[in-house]
Every structure is written in structure tokens, then in C-alpha cells.
Structure 1
């Protein structure tokens, strides 16, 4: 348990762990979020890339078999949801799922580990003023960056399937299809409703993932802060372990939901109203 939580108060403890390591480039840049996200993305690419290069047609190794199970699972989910050409959709779904799982899993790392490492190497005073949040998906910047990327991918799929003219026409004519003068009257209404429908998708993706991971991170902070000290050391370990076991389900489920909704949205973007 953290000595900081025992001596500095719960509010100070939580405020410290909710503060990002910020570098100022005109606006605040969350260095910790960027660094962890990049490292985990590269780890995913390296892991799956090496397994793909070493893959054999014979009896696979345990590592290759595990990767194949993941790929087949994702491809099966895409196949059940999206009935078009899956050659680009399945890799996208796989990347989204694994990257979010990796980022969500950072919530299982002990909260005070970064501070302890800094304190061990640079001293307590430096550690007290060093901020580092380990969970990129508990940062709204990350979840919105992911969802905005998905948003532009959806537009690309819609234009690819319907053409620029067809996509624009659909924005003005659906969902209230009309002919003659009424088509011009309802065009602004259709456009407004379609804009809302398109914008709701990335916002819902981002807020759902952020809300669940931020809440989970906060529960870990509350447990660590309330049960800090030697007297409550064992109850704190038990409580953290119990929440971590339950949180594993949230980690996987949120990654799956983000991935499957992306595929559903892609399928919808390629269909006509």
C-alpha cells in the first residue's frame, strides 16, 4: 500500500494519480498517454508480426496457436457481422481489439509502481512531483482519438460503397424519402438527422470506453487510498485482487464492444438506407 495515501490524505492521493505527465506544446500534451499507447501498439505489431513470420504449416507452437485462436475469433466475429470483403475489415478489428486490450490491461499494474520506481532511483521528493498515468484508455484524448479514426474510416467505406455523389445524396434524402417539392423541404431535416446519427457513433464509442476504464481506475485508487498502511495491508491486497479479477472481464468486454461496434458501423455505412 502507498505511504503517500497513508500520510497525504485520500484526496491528495487520488488527485496525484489522476494527474497526467504533461508537456506543453502550445497546449497540454499528455506524454504518459502517448508513450504508453505507442509502446503497446508497437508491442502488438512486434508480437503478431514475429508469430506470422515464424508460422509453420505443420503442428504450431503454443505461441502460434494462441495467436491463431485470437485471429480466428476476430475473423469469425467479423464474418457474422459484416458480409462484404473482410480483407481490410478483419485486420482493423484485430488491431482495435488487441490494442485496446493492451491499453486496458495497464489498469492491472499497481498504481504506485511508477512512483516507487522514480523514488527508488531519484528520491521521494522527485517521485512526489512526478506524474504518470498508466492507463491510456482512462484518458478521454485516447478514446476520442480512436473513435475519430473510426469515424473517418466509416466515411471512407461509405464513399467507397456509394461514391461521393451517392453518399451526398443519401445524406439529403434519407431517412425521409420524398419526391417533388417535398424532397427540397425535407432535405435540411434529413441532413441534420444524418449529421447527428454520424456524430453520435464516435462520441458513444469514446465515452463508453473512457467511462468504464476511468471508473475502474478510480476504484483501484479508492481501495489503495482507503486501505493504505500496515494494519490494512492484507485487506487491501484482498480487495484489490478481487476487483482486479472482476476488472479483467471489463477489460476484455470493453475492447470487444468497441471492436464489434466498429464492424457494425462499417457494415451500416456500406448499406443504403
Structure 2
């Protein structure tokens, strides 16, 4: 049982670099050192694999764009890329009736980057750590970046900032503040309650984006770890079954994150919830 606990803890530990009071800036050797480092630490493996998948996304789509613009017949992966682009474009046209030059590229980047980061989870989880063991390096590298809360939270916060920007841009700073003050109850005495309620409503958006993605991918990784410690005769069967099921989870999580982003941006255009009569009434 102790070996199992050690195996699980080892595989849930990131390659973390940070400041440790007794040794200075080091790569953490155990979970206790990671806890001591606290906020002043960086998960090198999560950053590396997220950047790597971003570069892979740019490389594939840049190459595909050159070929598609050269009037050649798309084949293989180019058909897949064209299908994904057209599908996302149709979703945006159907759900967002306002002109926005950012939403298309943003939705595509979100979907593909999360998809590629999730796709890594189908690779054998011990393959990199075996190489590290052969090199006598007692460190664990987590290749699934989305199972690190920092990556989904960083993406969610970035989307949240964009949502705030378009709320202020489309409604004006005064209009945005007034909307917070009179929703959901158009009563001057309920303004403090409205502010609390709407502030919580705004904060829930990045929380729902980050925790949903992190929770699903972290749980999936834990299941793979638990399967991996089972006897060989049953391990490969369960790995195959869970791997097939996981193939459905990978694009689903990417799609959900993208769709929620589109929906939240759509809300930033709904200025008809406040009309001039209501604003004048509140001013009086």
C-alpha cells in the first residue's frame, strides 16, 4: 500500500521550480517542498507542454493555410482542419449575431490548443518517466497540462479579461456599471444587493471555465494512474476501455470551453436589458 501511495503521489507531482527557504531557487524534490514554495513557484512541465502544443497548433494551421490558398485539393489532415474551421465558424454565426473580428480566431485557438493538450493524455503515462529513470533523474514530469489548475485558470482569466473589455466597449463604462447596479432588481434600495449578486455572477464565469476543464482532466489522469497500478492481465483491458471513453472526453472538454466563451461574449452585447427610461429612472 505504501508503494502504491508513493507511486500515485509521484505521478501527481509537477516538475516545479521555485524558492525554497533552506536551499534557494531549486527544482522541488517532493510535495512538501512544493507546498513550502507556495505562490513563488512555476510548474515547468505544464508550461513547456502547453507552449509546445501552441507551437504545434500554429505550425499545422500555418502550413494548411498556405496549401488551402494555393488552390490545391485538401487531403487527409487538411480536410480535418477545414472541417473544424468551418464548423466553428458556423457555430459563431448561429450564436453570435454581432460583428466581432476576435471571436473566430479566439474560438479556434481555444478549441485546438485545449484539444491538443488533452490529446497528450492518450500517450503512455510512464514513457517520459522511464527515460528519466534511466538517466537517474528522480523527477516526475506531468505531460497533461490541463490537469494542472494553473493552465485552465490562466486561460479562463484571459477570457474573463476579454469579456470585461467587450462589456465596457459595447456598453460603455457608465452603462456597464449601471447595468450591474439595476440587475436583477430595478430598485434603488437594492443596488448593494445587485452589485454583490452581479459581481458573483461575473466571477463565476472564469471559475466555471477553469474548474470544469481541470476537474475532468485531473480525474481522468487519476483514473489512468489507478489503472496503471493494477496487475497486467487486467490493466491493458481497462486502459483500452477508458482510453476509448477518453477519446470522447478530449474534444468534448475543448468544445465546452469554447462554447462557454462564445456565450459569455454574447452576453456582453446584450445592451437591450437597460433602456434609457430605466437609466433615467435610476438617476432620479
Say if 2:140 is the partner of 1:131.
yes
Q: Which residue in 1 is equivalent to 2:116?
A: 102
* Count of residue pairs the alignment pairs up: 252
Alpha-carbon RMSD: 1.6
Q: TM-score, normalised by structure 2?
A: 0.85
CA contact (8 A) 1:78 1:86 kept: no
Q: Deviations over 1:145-204 (max 9, x none)?
A: 1111111011011112111121111111222123xxxx2x22211111110000011111
Quote the offset at 1:60 in angstroms. 2.4
Which of 1 and 2 has higher RCO (CA within 8 Å, sep 6+)?
1
Matched, 1:167 2:176: yes
- Corresponding residue for residue 246 of structure 1: 245
Q: Is residue 176 of structure 1 aligned with residue 185 of structure 2?
A: yes
Q: For residues 20-59 of structure 1, what are the structure 2 equivalents within 5 Å?
A: 20-24=14-18, 27-55=40-68, 56-59=70-73
CA deviation digits over 1:235-272, x for unaligned, max 9?
Answer: 21121111011011111111111110110010012213
CA distance in 2, matches of 1:135, 1:63: 23
Q: Which moved more, 1:49-58 or 1:136-145?
A: 49-58
In the TM superposition, structure 1's runs of 4+ consecutive aligned residues that sit over 4 Å from their partners are none
Q: Is the CA contact 1:104–1:137 (under 8 Å) kept in the aligned structure 2?
A: yes
Structure 1, unpaired ranges of 5+:
228-232
Deviation digits for residues 204-238 of structure 1 (CA, Å, limit 9, x no counterpart): 111111110000000000000123xxxxx242112
Please give the secondary structure, in 2, of the residue aligned with 1:29. strand
SS class of match (2:42): strand
What's the CA shift string for 1:12-53, capped at 9, x where partnerless?
111100001011157121000000001101110111012112
Partner of 2:82 in structure 1?
68
Structure 2 runs not aligned, ≥5 long: 20-36, 274-284
Give the TM-score, by structure 1 length: 0.88
Find the residue that maps to 2:58 and give its secondary structure. helix
Structure 2 matches for 1:1-273, cutoff 5 A? 9-24=3-18, 27-55=40-68, 56-120=70-134, 122-123=135-136, 126=137, 129-178=138-187, 183=188, 185-227=189-231, 233-272=232-271, 273=273
CA distance in 2, matches of 1:189, 1:94: 38
**Cα distance in 2 for residues equivalent to 1:163 and 1:81:** 23
More displaced 10-residue stretch of structure 1: 63-72 or 147-156: 63-72
* Pairwise CA distance, 1:118: 1.7
